[in-house]
Amino acid sequence: MMMAISKRKQSLIHITLIVLVLIVAVLLLVLPSQVSGKTPSSSSQSRSPLITNQHQDISPSRDYSQSERRIRDQERRIDEARRDVDSARLDLWDAYTPSSINRSTTRYYNIQRAQSELDQAMSNLRMQDSDLYMQKRILESNQREQRLQDQRDQMRYHNAFDPQR
C-alpha cells in the first residue's frame, strides 16, 4: 500500500515537472520574439520589411507616403538586383563548364555589373531611409516648437486680461 502511494506521488511529480518544462520552453520561444516586436513567423524575413516597419508611427502626410513609396520601390529594386546577382552567379557556374568556355568572360562581367547595381540600390535605400528619418525628426521639432509658441501666446493672452496683474 505504501509503495503504491509513493509511485503515484512520483508519477504525479514527473508529470508536473514535464508540464512545467514545456510551459517554460514555450515561454522562452514566444517572449523574446514579442519583446523584439516580431512574431516567430516574421523572424525569418529579410531586413527590408523591418525598415518600413520602423516608420509606421509617422503621422499621415503626403511627403511621408511618397518617401515610403520610394523606399518600397528601392527595396523592390534591391530584390531584383539580388535576383540578377544570383542568376549571374548561376550563369558563371555554367560558364566554367567545358561546354561554354567561350562565354566565361561575358558572364563574369554580367556578375560584376549586377553586383554594382545591387550595391547602388542598397546605397540609395539607405540614403532615402535616412532622409525619411530626418524629415520625421524635423516635423516633430517643428510641431514641438509650434506647441510651445501656442502655449506662450496663450499665457500672454491670459496675462493681458488677468485682473490681478
The answer to whether residue 43 is domain-embedded is: no
- Please answer whether residues 56 and 72 qualify as being in contact, where contact means their C-beta atoms are separated by less than 8 angstroms: no
pLDDT of residue 127: 87
pLDDT of residue 147: 94
Q: Side chain identity at 26, as an amino acid letter?
A: V
Domain of residue 94 covers 59-129
pLDDT band of 95, cuts 50, 70, 90: low
- Number of other residues whose CB lies within 10 A of the CB of residue 79: 14
The answer to whether residue 11 is domain-embedded is: no
- pLDDT 10s digits, 100-150: 555 566 767 777 888 888 888 888 888 888 888 888 899 999 999 999 999
- pLDDT 10s digits, 46-81: 444 444 444 444 444 556 678 788 888 888 888 888
Residue 54: strand, helix, or coil: coil
Question: Between 61 and 162, where is the model more confident?
Answer: 162
pTM score: 0.34
pLDDT of residue 8: 81
| Torsion sign across C-alpha atoms 49, 53, 54, 60 | positive
| Torsion sign across C-alpha atoms 98, 103, 104, 110 | negative
The answer to whether residue 73 is domain-embedded is: yes
The answer to whether residue 158 is domain-embedded is: no
The answer to whether residue 81 is domain-embedded is: yes
Domain count, the chain: 1
Cβ-based neighbours of 79, under 8 Å, separated by 6 or more: 48
Mean pLDDT of all residues in 14-18: 87
